[in-house]
Structure 1
Amino acid sequence: MRTVRLLLLLLGASAVAYGGWLLYPQIDTTLPWLVGGPLLHDALVAPLVALAGLTLSRLVTDPVRRYWITAGLVATGTLLLIAVPLTWRPASAPPNPGLQDRDYPLELTTALAFLWIVIMIILILIHVLSRRPAGRSADDRG
């Protein structure tokens, strides 16, 4: 077993060394991304997500409603993460017909509006169904 672990360690270390060798000529353009991404996440994204979670837990006490709002926020974050690079900068290569000739800001807005309309409909249904009486007993039928 020790031999297998040593071989896997050597294989992994050689893969890291080879990746570093390939990365070295591009280090001046890659270093800002390698350092800036985690710094941006830790300084901005993580505190905002924590603050949103804390606010959500204080404002929405019903766990079912909180679940749907959290799901909507996660889906919103995912859509923004995917769409922001496409809306923020122009394409770095010749456009691919059908892919880069879209109106990404409009489509992002449409997707977010549709997502939150569905979430609001679900929340309204939850509210209406929770207010409905459970059913009449045999004594009430008269």
Structure 2
Amino acid sequence: MKIARALLALPGLAALAWGAVLFAEYALPLRPEVFRTVGWLVGGPLLNDALIAPLTALLGFALARLLPPRWKTPVITGTVITGVLAILAFPLLWRPYGTPPMPGLHDTNPTLGLALTLAAVWLAVLLTALRPRVVPPITSVVPPITRDAPPDTRDAPARTPTDRTGTPPDPPGAQTDRPSY
């Protein structure tokens, strides 16, 4: 297992080293843009770790305590997706052309796009929470399913009796050429 982990870590470390080489080519010699880039590279994760992730976790924790069970999973999922979308939209909302230009990206209104995406996410949350349950809730009448317990056969279809030859009998009222014993 340790060898597999090491083999999985090697490509990540190689990509990290390549990124460091590319950043060194960009950053040297030092100039004002390099300090803004370092601020953005360091500030983004710090902003996420210090503000957005804790707020999302606190909101999810509070919602898990306050909401009924049917609403917990969809609302917490919607909250996490909203946090991720806020992180992704932040550069475009913070200042115009906050990212390198891409065809079609700057032709739209990022605020409207974020609002429509969040409306779709929360509509899905609402529809998911209001959908009828497919699986009935667990009650105390049925014993829990465990690996050690024998299978519960109360709901299994009954086996049909067979005659001595191993064939099932004819249904009642069927015409047969065989004499009955």
User: Are 2:34 and 1:31 equivalent residues in the alignment?
Assistant: no
User: Structure 2: which 5+ residue stretches go unaligned?
Assistant: 137-181
| 3-state SS of paired residue (2:37) | helix
- Of residues 79, 90, 93, the one that matches 1:84 is 90
Q: What code does the residue aligned with 1:65 have?
A: W
- 2-side partners of 1:61 and 1:83: how far apart? 31
TM-score scaled by length of structure 2: 0.51
Contact 1:65 1:123 in 2 (8 A): yes
- 2-side partners of 1:96 and 1:16: how far apart? 22
For 1:133, the equivalent position in structure 2 comes to: none
Superposition RMSD in Å: 3.6
- 2-side partners of 1:51 and 1:73: how far apart? 11
> What pairs with 1:1-142 in structure 2 (closer than 5 Å)?
12=14, 15=18, 18-19=21-22, 21-25=24-28, 27-62=34-69, 64-91=70-97, 98-126=104-132
TM-score scaled by length of structure 1: 0.62
- 1-side partners of 2:127 and 2:21: how far apart? 53
Over the matched positions of the two proteins, sequence identity in percent amounts to 38
Q: What code does the residue aligned with 1:36 have?
A: G
Contact 1:95 1:101 in 2 (8 A): no
Larger-Rg structure? 2
Range that drifts further, 72-81 or 101-110: 72-81
Deviations along 1:48-100, one digit per CA (max 9) or x if unpaired, are 122112202211251x5311112212222222222222232112689655331
Contact 1:83 1:108 in 2 (8 A): yes
Instruction: Please state how far the C-alpha of 1:16 moved relative to its aligned partner.
Output: 6.8
- 1-side partners of 2:129 and 2:19: how far apart? 49
User: Structure 1: which 5+ residue stretches go unaligned?
Assistant: 131-142
> When the two structures are aligned, how many residues end up with a matched partner?
121
Distance 1:86 1:49, change over 3 A: same
Contact 1:87 1:105 in 2 (8 A): yes
Q: What code does the residue aligned with 1:40 have?
A: L
The higher-RCO structure (CA 8 Å, 6+ apart) is 1
Distance 1:44 1:17, change over 3 A: closer
Contact 1:72 1:115 in 2 (8 A): yes
Structure number with higher helix proportion:
1
